Structure 1
């Protein structure tokens, strides 16, 4: 079943458009916070505090909201969180220069960011036929590549035409609109998590050793992407005028490759099980990153940037399926939220470590980037037997 058949399936287009709309603020917020606070004359130290407050709060809030969704359903959580996140954006927009209101608003916006990503991934098995599931997750992963580019572009366009404050209000409205579109859909209103496994306990999906290992491996992918951003920015600064668009062009080429890679992955028919595909794709992503160590001239570097982006989205598409397979019953939305959190945490760590290495050499930054996904892929390879979901217990025969 191809992408045309997927998009013709009932509810798919609405869910995709709603989640894209509502997830766009996630790609806008870190940049727009920095621009809005800087326009208000805020020192860089307080800008860093506000953006850190947003990132940390989002990392904490995602799994908490995911667990509430598993326990109570999707619509109320999506709508309530969107309203609360909008309140955070409003605080930022109304008082960007405040030493108290700005970081508080950023924290509220992050903590209450509507869990549209995990909700959509929990809905896919109920919305599409089993043979379309890989295609649906691949299309989901491909759309994420669009957001990597569209979010910063939206901020630049709105901030340039109006102001950074207007971009904050836009993020609040987009989040609420996206939540309304998804929460009002029939699949979201009907969705209910299966009864929660008694063994899940307080840790929920993290009681699954295979899932924890998978999340750690994907944190390595996040690390690689964060370090890659620093590498491209530093490389462009060292080669001024060497490539039109500089770092933006390199990042866009990587995102384009990710989009094409996800579409190719979803259009293929795979004989290997999901666990095998996941660790193979992780090592494949590492192979795509290793040529960055060459650091050639600007135009060959553009080609390597494209190559480096090919592996991420297919890896995530396979991982989405595997997360659903490994999560204990009744915890799947929280499990998807943990994936978002671990990837974002790895991303931030890779960004920070590579930023500290920039003054050493670009080769150290490239090694930092390639090393993250290489270690992640090797971890998944070593843990490959733990990544296979347990066989269901046999049903006792009736006598």
Structure 2
């Protein structure tokens, strides 16, 4: 814990961590907010799944593209432009009944213009701290990210149930604009310039650690999203138990992130952490009782933040600085798509076989998320004796002296 305390005392770390967390908070809210709002509007989880699918397609296209654009136009212009368009699109879905096709089209635009906050902040981190502090910073960030993916749906569920689904979406917009503005005005953005990448779009995915982190991140967040949908479906739109269970899920992840996330990262690290998530999720499906779900999901949560910390570190250590934004763009795209796809798959199974279907989906996704790093161990960097800093863009040149 002392390493985290010293990190927060480092100039700018607490500010940029808080700003990016606030700006990215809507990313953990929108999938469930749209799920609840569209289901309430059309009385069908299946239709809600279609809108979420449109959102995820837009996100899939946007992630690496807008990340690369930050190396061409700069971080502030790209983030500001996408933030405004995305906020308008999301607000339109909340306020104007447009029909299924129009809702899907606007959701696609919202996904396409999701501000690239995550790639920006991941690129800034190595320039703010020394090499020994970078892995603990990724761990601290991963713990904070769980507030986004786990606590975000708790807030969304509470507001949507107690006040209305429209207000659940509008709250996400408020976080998007307010947090995005705070992040844009942070001086750290002006101190770091992302170099223009010399490689073609997508080439960075040829780096096995980047591809590994992208796939596992997708599966992990998809499992979380399915769990969230299952919890809400289990206890109904008026059940306060849903908020309690999701809060315990979040606490488990925070505990895991702070206690395990700073440990040395060996080649088995990601598989071990995903195994914890799978075991907790699998046994959760056995009994949809509030206390059983709270206990088993607390266990599952313990592996989430440490797994994310590993993903961030192996990506950073495997690419050049000019490619970090795009690399994290792909990882972020995987996670954002996972949130939408997990909710959509869970929604269809809830319609088909009931609430337990969401937990079956979550367990299956978590199991695949364990198998991928297990079978891909040789692609996992061993960082026990090295730091996670990006590779330099320039290499030493040998000279000949007379």
- TM bin, normalised by shorter chain, reads 0.7 to 0.9
Tell me: CA distance 1:129–1:82, structure 2 relative to 1, closer, same or farther (3 Å). same
Please report the TM-score for the alignment, with normalisation by the length of structure 2. 0.82
Q: Hey, what does 1:370 align to over in structure 2? A: 363
Aligned residues: 389
Aligned equivalent of 1:323, options 289, 312, 315 = 315
Q: Does 1:222 align with 2:221?
A: yes
Deviates more, 1:138-147 or 1:348-357: 348-357
Instruction: Map 1:329-348 onto structure 2 (within 5 A).
Output: 329-348=321-340
Tell me: CA distance 1:153–1:297, structure 2 relative to 1, closer, same or farther (3 Å). closer
Kept in 1: contact 2:210–2:331 (CA 8 A): no
The Cα of 1:290 is off from its aligned counterpart by: 4.2
What root-mean-square deviation, in Å, do the aligned CA atoms of Structure 1 and Structure 2 show? 3.5
Q: Does 1:251 align with 2:240?
A: no
Q: Hey, what does 2:93 align to over in structure 1? A: 92
Q: Hey, what does 1:379 align to over in structure 2? A: 372
Kept in 2: contact 1:230–1:351 (CA 8 A): yes
The Cα of 1:49 is off from its aligned counterpart by: 4.2
The Cα of 1:114 is off from its aligned counterpart by: 1.1
Aligned equivalent of 1:278, options 265, 270, 283 = 270
Q: Does 1:292 align with 2:284?
A: yes
* Distance in 1, Cα, partners of 2:294 & 2:37: 31
Kept in 1: contact 2:276–2:299 (CA 8 A): no
The Cα of 1:330 is off from its aligned counterpart by: 1.7
Tell me: CA distance 1:153–1:360, structure 2 relative to 1, closer, same or farther (3 Å). closer
* Distance in 2, Cα, partners of 1:165 & 1:356: 22
Q: Hey, what does 1:121 align to over in structure 2? A: 122
* Distance in 1, Cα, partners of 2:293 & 2:224: 16
The Cα of 1:160 is off from its aligned counterpart by: 6.8
* Distance in 2, Cα, partners of 1:354 & 1:35: 13
Kept in 2: contact 1:32–1:164 (CA 8 A): yes
Which consecutive unaligned segments of at least 5 residues does structure 1 have?
Answer: none
* Distance in 1, Cα, partners of 2:171 & 2:368: 39
* Distance in 1, Cα, partners of 2:321 & 2:122: 15
The Cα of 1:368 is off from its aligned counterpart by: 4.1
The Cα of 1:310 is off from its aligned counterpart by: 0.7
* Distance in 1, Cα, partners of 2:346 & 2:134: 36
Deviates more, 1:133-142 or 1:102-111: 102-111
Deviates more, 1:96-105 or 1:62-71: 96-105
Tell me: CA distance 1:177–1:396, structure 2 relative to 1, closer, same or farther (3 Å). same
Tell me: CA distance 1:158–1:224, structure 2 relative to 1, closer, same or farther (3 Å). closer
Tell me: CA distance 1:384–1:397, structure 2 relative to 1, closer, same or farther (3 Å). farther
The Cα of 1:128 is off from its aligned counterpart by: 1.9
Please report the TM-score for the alignment, with normalisation by the length of structure 1. 0.82
The Cα of 1:193 is off from its aligned counterpart by: 2.5
Q: Does 1:62 align with 2:70?
A: no
* Distance in 2, Cα, partners of 1:168 & 1:367: 28
Deviations 1:193-234 (A, max 9, x none): 2452x4x32323213233213322333323432343355456
The Cα of 1:87 is off from its aligned counterpart by: 2.2
* Distance in 2, Cα, partners of 1:180 & 1:290: 40
Q: Hey, what does 1:2 align to over in structure 2? A: 3
* Distance in 1, Cα, partners of 2:400 & 2:213: 38
Q: Hey, what does 2:294 align to over in structure 1? A: 302
Which consecutive unaligned segments of at least 5 residues does structure 2 have?
Answer: 383-389
Tell me: CA distance 1:203–1:37, structure 2 relative to 1, closer, same or farther (3 Å). closer
Kept in 2: contact 1:208–1:328 (CA 8 A): no
The Cα of 1:312 is off from its aligned counterpart by: 0.9
The Cα of 1:374 is off from its aligned counterpart by: 2.7
Deviations 1:37-65 (A, max 9, x none): 677x5564765544432232223222221
Deviates more, 1:326-335 or 1:285-294: 285-294
Deviations 1:345-383 (A, max 9, x none): 344444444555555588776554333233332321222
